Structure 1
Amino acid sequence: MSSEQTSFRIENLLTLKSQGIQVYPEKFSTNCELYEATQLEDGTSGVRVAGRIMSIRYFSKLSFITISNIQGCLQLLLKKDEIGDEPFNQFHNLLDIGDFIGVDGRMYTTKTNEKTLRIESYVFLGKALRPLPEKWHGLSNVELRYRQRYLDLMMTRETQNRLLARSKMVRAIRRFFEDNEFLEVETPVLQHSSSGALAKPLRTYHYSLDTELNLRIAPETYLKRLIVGGFTKVFEFAKCFRNEGISPQHLQEFTMVEGYAAYWNYEDTMKLMRDMVLFVLAQTFNTTTITIQGQTIDFSIEWDIVTFKDLILKDTGVDIDLFPDVKNLYQETLRKNINLGQLDIESLGRGNYIDHLYKKMCRPKLVKPTFLIKHPIDLSPLARANDLNPALSDRFQLVVNGAEIINAYSELVDPLEQRRRLEAQAHLKSNGDLEAMEMDEDYLTAMEYGMPPISGWGFGIERLLMVLTDSDTIKDCVLFPLTKKI
């Protein structure tokens, strides 16, 4: 804080204090939001608003001022002959762009047809000691926008709109599930085992218990415990943590929405998820048609449903059913000149190798909303096996614009089969697969007390927002993304 501008602002602050002005007052009562004031009729008086000064246009006897907040902005008119010499001069001499003010006045429309509040009185509400960026839109240091998100929110309308949409989306999702008789619950973030998804966990240490713990990678097994306990329809907004690589589609800390319904199967959930997406689009964007990668997509039109096998066969020419062994499958992809990069085939296992094949060769081509069904069972350790073909799972994913935004399935409720699968996962983990699941005896004990048929689903708020706002990177869809310490 040694810049010349900062020193000048501190001098103004001290001058205000010397004049008996409270520079950081306790409160200011408003009766109107900035965006609401722009809708008021001319002549409306007693309008009280507050905001940050974002621009000042000086003239000899008047000034036009713009104040703003995250939801909108409002133009103010300050006239010397209406407010008096002393308040007029005080504003021009001691207030700076970035400061906060509260004003009381009446509405009118300028000759350029802009709704404006004529200031009848104003109150100083806070001094900014640092100047705001002058050319934020041209800022090439994207990392700075993430590190100082508050500046990005102040200066970049696109960021404001996207993150306001996030809040609206969360509200719409919660309302949708509550309207469908789901109960919101909370489950532990600190867990002894990392189950519920295939991912490498973040670890921490609990000193009082003298034990290592994982930050949850998913709330799944605890939500299912609630079904054992008698809940029938539950959902959770769950902070989850996955110690995976950084990419435009992945965050290490993210918000997952996950839920379960007793006595449902995955096809019931498929209908629920379609209804939810349409509801969220209407509530958040007032439309079910959005533009993604220059392509207009109407989500209200029926969505495609395609099997995992058929998709891979179409895009690669490989019939995965013909290759039950990962080595043979690997050799077949080599024969097809498919290069998936350096992969440890032995530790990866067949399921994860197929997943890599799908993500590299198929997923990027899925732009319109598509339900992907019938995943190989070894990709779904907690999903129910299909009755007609036990090598497949009763599962679906919703893919839009090359991103998986919803994952759901009919749940495995057979404790003996679940134990066998978790033992297989534990074997993969001991062979070096860091994303394989751990054995979870407590969850297996809960299962042994009996589970009804269940279907469940999960999706990330940030991933959904990224797709629906056609954002380049998922970091743009979280208020404060993790950045490297400097």
Structure 2
Amino acid sequence: MRTWCLSDQNLRRIKKLQTLKQININPYPSEEYTRTYNSKEIRNNYKNKKKVLLAGRIIRIRRMGKASFLELKDKYGIIQIYISINNFNYENKIYNLFFKKLIDIGDIIGITGYLFKTKNNQISVEAKKIKLLSKCLHTLPNVKIDKMGKTFDSFSNPEKRHRMKYVDFLVNEEIQKVILTRIKIITFIRNYLNQRNYLEVETPILQSIPGGAIARPFITYHNSLKSTLYLRISNELYLKKLLVGGFEKVYEFSRNFRNEGIDKKHNPEFTILEVYLAYKDYYWMMKFTEKFLHKICCNISQCFPLKFGKQDLNFLSPFIDPFQQITFFEALKIYTGFDISDMLENEIIKICTEINVKIDKNMKKGQILDQIFSQKCEKQILKPTFIIDFPIEMSPLAKKHRFKNGLSERFELIINGVEIANSYSELNDPIDQFKRFKKQIKLYNKMESENMLIDQDFILSLEYGMPPCAGIGFGLDRLIMLFTNQKNINDVLFFPSIKSLENRKNNFN
């Protein structure tokens, strides 16, 4: 057992644990515990003196001499338990020693008893048997609110909450609801796509080339293959290979990994929903996206507007309130005051100085434009908006625009100042794709080698012929942040990435 960071309360509970073992009560029994009812079923099917077996965690105890009350919490709610010394026949040991001295808030117990209602008409269980199922060795945070409305002892420290998610879920019901909404959204998406004959597929997480995006990868080594491998930064190229192979409608909940910064919108591992289908383009995908988000919204909020901070976000039918569409260069003009659509690179650099956009001296035109958009435009776009027709320099995997020179058939969906989705009419010309990859090498010369940017097998697959297609990637974690009104990505993840515990011991003393 760990020896650091044990408080006096921890030590007292450990002593109780030892006492339990000394009197032959197993604090962690292994046999199955049969439950006949949960708290919800008890409330919905109350019958006086009905026998019930239930289990849960103690969240409150009121000890009062020869009779006591406790509140037991399970998945479905809270139920009151009445404990009386008269119901136990072991020389009062069960009540006076086991219950009064060795049972604590946080312990998981099983109760056998009979239903009744108190004088206040509260449904309760009169316990005839108590079985300890798991001893809790820590004091649970117990939120208290005084007469002035001031809150005490809440589990609200962000670092503790995000490190100890199991406690966060246990004591902060709102965060548990957020995670349950996450599960509900993912289940809905899966059903929605499956019903429309999309195939859920799986692509490799360990890859020989970190392709499909420009990002710093996590690197590992495979001993048997004697080769360096990379954790997936994108699954896009593999999904396109499946289209080459004849699978026309595919999707994947892709766990991706990028060895880069951490903030309220970025986690080193994150989930992307990627959807690809043959014989469609990015115009079709915009219509699909509006309808798709409308269906998700209706599934979780009955089609009412969502509240995100102070902003009301409306996802009505695309026929009633379609998302706004603005071209990339129109957005730059709106939010910077400059029309830079026809400017050369050196002219754009001068504009960056005027509008106070920070850029690196080694950046090329596409990267500079990306910085201008990120720093000056994105955060100001609140209503759901498609930013369309990006410069070709910023879109190496998208088709050239069929009508507009120098642009690509690409859109990003921005909502409340955050990129939610990215979509292309996918490039399927292998020669053009190879040339684009070669240009990327010059832009990102910090990469280790040419092979880290050019997936030769992907080019080969395109040479066999990929049907015209549209693809989209939704930032699933960000989407869930939006639908649950959360401002920190850590609140929508089961277990976010944070600094190692060894570096944070002092915070828990």
CA drift at 1:225: 0.6
Aligned to 1:197: 213
- Rounded to whole Å, the distance in 1 between the matches of 2:247 and 2:468 is 13
Distance 1:18 1:162, change over 3 A: same
Secondary structure at the residue paired with 2:44? coil
Aligned to 1:470: 485
Secondary structure of 1:416's match? helix
Contact 1:199 1:437 in 2 (8 A): no
Identical columns (%) = 36
Q: What per-residue deviation string (whole Å, max 9, x for no partner) do you get for residues 279-323 of structure 1?
A: 322333444421112222221143222221211111111223121
For residue 239 of structure 1, the aligned residue among 234, 255, 262 is 255
Pairwise CA distance, 1:109: 5.2
Higher deviation after alignment, 350-359 or 283-292: 283-292
Distance 2:87 2:360 in 1: 75
Amino acid across the alignment from 1:479: F
SS of residue matched to 1:20: coil
Residue 16 of structure 1: aligned partner: 20
Question: Which residue does 1:127 correspond to in 2?
Answer: 135
Shift of 1:409: 1.6
Task: Work out the CA distance in 2 between the residues paired with 1:479 and 1:385.
Answer: 40
- In structure 2, the CA distance between the partners of 1:383 and 1:53, relative to structure 1 (3 Å rule), is same
Deviates further, 3-12 or 212-221 = 3-12
CA distance in 2, matches of 1:173, 1:352: 33
Partner of 1:93: 101
Equivalenced residue count is 479
Matched, 1:45 2:50: yes
The superposition leaves residues 155-187 of structure 1 with CA deviations (integer Å, 9 ceiling, x where unpaired) of 222221212222222211211111121111111
Q: CA deviation at 1:101?
A: 0.8
Which of 145, 168, 188 is the equivalent residue of 1:152? Answer: 168
- Per-residue CA shift, 1:20-77, capped at 9, x if unaligned? 33321222122444444443335383433322112112223433322235x4431222
Q: Distance in 2 between matches of 1:42 and 1:182?
A: 48
Specify the alignment match of 1:385 in structure 2: 400
Cα offset, 1:227, TM superposition: 0.7
1:330 is matched with: 349
In the TM superposition, what is the alpha-carbon distance from 1:269 to its structure 2 partner? Answer: 2.0
Alpha-carbon distance, 1:127 to partner: 0.6
What code does the residue aligned with 2:172 have? Answer: T
Aligned position for 1:460: 475
SS of equivalent residue, structure 1 residue 273: helix
> What does the per-residue CA deviation read over 1:339-369, in whole Å, with 9 as the maximum and x for residues that have no partner?
122x2243x2212211111111111112222
The one-letter amino acid of 2:470's match is: S
Unaligned 5+ runs, structure 2: 144-151, 504-509
CA distance in 1, matches of 2:243, 2:179: 34
CA gap of 1:111–1:185, structure 2 versus 1, over 3 A, is farther
The residue correspondences of 1:290-329 to structure 2 (distance < 5 A) are 290-300=306-316, 301-323=321-343, 325-329=344-348
Q: In the aligned structure 2, how far is the partner of 1:115 from the partner of 1:91?
A: 22
What SS is found at the alignment partner of 2:341? helix
Q: What's the C-alpha RMSD, in Å, of the aligned pairs?
A: 2.5
Query: Compared with structure 1, are the counterparts of its residues 110 and 345 closer, same or farther at alpha carbon in structure 2 (3 Å cutoff)?
Result: farther
Matching residue of 1:177: 193
- 1:280-429 to 2 correspondences below 5 Å: 280-300=296-316, 301-323=321-343, 325-334=344-353, 337-341=354-358, 343-346=359-362, 348-429=363-444
- Say whether the 8 Å CA contact 2:39–2:79 is kept in structure 1: no
* Contact 1:425/1:437 (<8 A) preserved: no
TM-score normalized with structure 1 length = 0.91
CA distance in 1, matches of 2:482, 2:338: 29
Of the candidates 51, 72, 85, which is equivalent to residue 67 of structure 1?
Answer: 72
1:25 match: 29
Return 5+ residue gaps in structure 1 as ranges.
none
For 1:395 and 1:55, locate their aligned partners in 2 and report how far apart those are by CA, in whole Å: 56
